[in-house]
Structures are given as structure tokens and as C-alpha cells.
Amino acid sequence: MPNRSDILKQRLFDSVARPWQILLPESTLNAIVEEEGVRYRNRLYTPIVTIWAMLYQVLCDDKSLKNTVKWLRKWLVVDGQAPSSDTGGYSKARSRLAEGVLKRLVPKSGRALEEQVDEEHLWCGRHVKVFDGSTILMSDTEDNQKEYPQHGNQKKGCGFPIARIVVFFSLVTGALLHERIAHCKTSETEMSRSLYPYLEPKDVAMADQLHGSYVDLALIQQQQADGMIRKHHARKTDFRTGKKNGIGDHQVEWSKPTRCPKHMSKEEFDALPDRMMVREVSLRLTRKGWRDQYIIVVTTLLDAERYSAQALTELYGYRWRAAEVNLRHVKTTLKMEMINAKTPAMVRKVFWSHLLCYNLLRTIMEQAAPLAEYQRSRLSLQGTRQGFRQILTHLCLAQPHQQERLYDDLLNETATDRLPNRPNRSEPRVRKQRHKSFPLMQQPRSVLKAKLAA
């Protein structure tokens, strides 16, 4: 009888791993597992089986361990084996899996997807990377509270541990390239600056006005990259000064601040140049039915002929989709807003498995992009998730020619099921559905239960 772990591994490579056969073959996964020093016995849940099972868990609406174990068990029953449906083995396998394995797979998958993009689809022939930050909640346990304490305005026992995250997205493919997760009191600026070393020469980094400072632009330039960031509201602009490129477009010299940021060492701060030429551009954002909005961006793209104000306006218009919408997909579409894990280590593993699953779906969407005339913004990540989830079992049980037919149909369905073209869409940030009239928890659950029993 074939080994059960070999059967499961083959089933997974014929289904959930199918889009990544080129990006993440079995040899690459084995190499990462070995480099991380993972040692394991020949048991049912090997590291590779565990990784793909965690990805399936993210894809499902029911993210329970029991649902995942039952799904894996059915494949072995078909081959005449009936393992236990107990979740203990899978739970222990997730705990044994080294954090570094999942953490390394996220940027590796995103980078491999980014390298497949033809230069003609890049902005002015350059890769643009957009970064943004948010927060996630997790199970209220003592270990989680110790490493990721709840918000300070909540009473003890009445809130959830919270972590701050910062992510780098690709403008073209939407792939998630790099990430950081930390204590909620860690500033988003500090976390973003720790990601700048991952920028490659000729990259363009784009962000909101929180990062529109001298230090950010200087750190980006240290990587031989360029930045285009909305100018901080505290900085004043006088377009009558400096070298003029046109109306609302000039070059000025910025001086390094005298105070070193708390998170930087004196050596790092001293390595920054004392002066830097930047370009300040007033962008006119138009929206039908609304007054024109003017914002000022600061950039190190000094060539006004190659990077015109119109080109910069078009680029900044993509920022919302590339950052806010993609981050919402990770948190809301894949349901990562609340991570039901009891230890900080498991929280991080679940966090990275969500990011890895997001890149998996982006891989399918990129494969379908030629069929959609490369209208990547019109492809639906939720529709891709639904379609891929539906064919997983069929992929692993079908014959090779049937697998090709199923996967081709998924790509065609992804390409044709396009989102409506809604330029400059704007929705009020309100909720229509009313919440139930139960009051918020103001005391720990144990205290409230004691009052009920009294």
C-alpha cells in the first residue's frame, strides 16, 4: 500500500498546488524546508502536506481544522484507506511547522510572479510598489495579549489582542511582495522603512502622506529606487521658487532634518545625504459630479519630460486600487480580520498563510490576464477564489487531459467574469444593516457569568 503522506502530497500537487507548479515546484519547497532545519518523521502530515492544507483552510469559508481534515481524509478513502478524522495530528503538524518556511514563501511567490510581467505592461518601463498598513485582531488568550496587547482604551478582558501590519503590493499584478507584523504601538512609518531595503534598483515606491518626509525619500534613494509620495500637509509649498518645469511643477532642494528618528541609529541617520533635490507636483484629480481636487506629491522622478505631470496623475490614481483595495481583499475577502489562533507563533503562521493564498489567487488571475486583454483591474479576486475552490476536488481525481480542461475552463471563467467598469467610484463609509441591541462587553466574561449565576 502506498504511503499515505505520498498520496496526500500527490493529490495536493494535482489540485491546490497546480497554479504554482512553475513558481513553487516540490524541489523548491523541499529546499526551503531543509534550509530552515525542519526535521520530520515519515508521517501523514509532512511539512509540504501541512502547507497546502493550510492554504486550503484559507480558501474555505469554513476555516475550521475539522473541515480541512475531513477534506484530506476523503482523498485517502478513495484509495482504500480511512485515516482518523481527529484534528490532533493536523494541529500538531501546524505547530511543528517552522515560521520561517511560510515567511520565506510569501516574498518568493510574489517576486516570481512579478518577474513574469512584460516590460510593456510596466509604468514607464518601471516596477511600481505600493505600501500601506492596517491592523488585525486575534483570539483573546494570555500569550497573545502578552505579545500583541489590546488597545489601551479597552478594559482588561473586554478587548482583543491587536497587531499592526504593513505590506508591499505590486502595482501591475497586485502580488504581495513583502510584509511586516508587529506590536500595535510600533509606528507604521518605522515598519515601512524596514521594508525599503527590499526595493530593487529602478523601482518606484508609492505611499500616502504619512511617508512624505525627507528621511523616507532618502532611504528609498539609497536603494537606487525612486519615490512618489503625497506631500505631508505640514510642509508648505511655494511654486514660485526653485526650478520650474511648468505650472504647479518645480524642483526644490530639501535639507536633512536635525533630529534623528527614534527608531534609527545615529550611524544610519548620518549616512543620509545633507541635501536632496526633489520635485513637487500639483496633481489635479477630476471626478464626474464633484469639484476637482488638487493634491501635491513629492517625488525623486526629476525628469519632467519622461515623467510628466499627467503621467504622475495617472499613476497616483492607481494607488487606491493597488493598496487599499488589495489590502481589503486580504483582510475581508480572505477573512483575515480576526485570526482564531491561541499563540503568537500560530497567529503569524496563519497570517503568512493568508498572504501566500492571496498570491496563489493572484497567480491564477495573472495566468488569465492575456484572455482578458490584460485588463487586470477588471478581474475579480473573489470570483477567482470561488471558481478555484469549486474545482479543487475535481482536479485531484481527474485524468491528466481532464485536469487540463478543468483548469483552462477556470482561466476562461476568470477572464470573462469581469467586474463592472466603474471609474472614480466613491461610496459613503456607512452601514445599512443594524446591529443587535446587545450592549458592549464592559467587564470580563467570567465576571458577567458569575453575575448571571448569582
Same domain as 111, residue 56: no
Mean pLDDT, all residues of the chain: 89
Residue ending a domain, among 97, 123, 149, is 97
Residue ending a domain, among 97, 115, 131, is 97
Same domain as 314, residue 207: yes
Least confident span in 69-83, 113-127, 147-161: 69-83
Same domain as 73, residue 218: no
- Any domain includes 218: yes
The reported pLDDT for the residue numbered 80 is 74
DSSP-assigned states of every residue in 13-47: HTTTTGGGTTTS-HHHHHHHHHHTT----S-SS-H
Does the pLDDT of residue 196 top 80, yes or no? yes
Higher-pLDDT residue of 436 and 167 is 167
Question: What confidence category does residue 170 fall into, taking pLDDT thresholds of 50, 70 and 90?
Answer: very high
- Any domain includes 128: yes
Q: How does pLDDT run across 381-436, given as a tens digit for each residue?
A: 999 999 999 998 888 888 889 999 999 999 999 999 898 877 666 667 788 888 88
Residue 223: which CATH number?
Answer: 3.90.350
The C-alpha atoms of residue 103 and residue 162 are separated, in whole angstroms, by 20
Question: What residue type is 232 in one-letter code?
Answer: H
What average pLDDT does the segment 150-172 reach? 91
The reported pLDDT for the residue numbered 423 is 65
Domain count, the chain: 2
- Any domain includes 220: yes
Same domain as 210, residue 234: yes
Smallest CA-to-CA distance from 127 within 70, 163, 63, 177 is with 177
Same domain as 304, residue 220: yes
Same domain as 230, residue 137: yes
- Any domain includes 137: yes
Same domain as 92, residue 122: no
- Any domain includes 205: yes
Question: What confidence category does residue 82 fall into, taking pLDDT thresholds of 50, 70 and 90?
Answer: confident
- Any domain includes 289: yes
Same domain as 113, residue 23: no
Query: Which residues, listed in sequence order, are joined to residue 279 by a DSSP beta bridge?
Result: 251, 299
Does the pLDDT of residue 204 top 60, yes or no? yes
Strands 293-299, 338-339: pairing is unpaired
Q: How does pLDDT run across 214-258, given as a tens digit for each residue?
A: 999 999 999 999 999 998 888 888 898 999 998 999 999 999 999
> Would you say the C-alpha torsion 137, 138, 141, 145 has a positive or negative sign?
negative
Residue 128's Cβ-side half-sphere holds a number of Cα atoms within 13 Å equal to: 25
Same domain as 214, residue 89: no
Same domain as 81, residue 160: no
Residue ending a domain, among 331, 350, 384, is 331
Containing domain of residue 11, as a range? Answer: 1-97
Q: How does pLDDT run across 286-315, given as a tens digit for each residue?
A: 766 667 778 899 999 999 999 999 899 888
Same domain as 127, residue 93: no
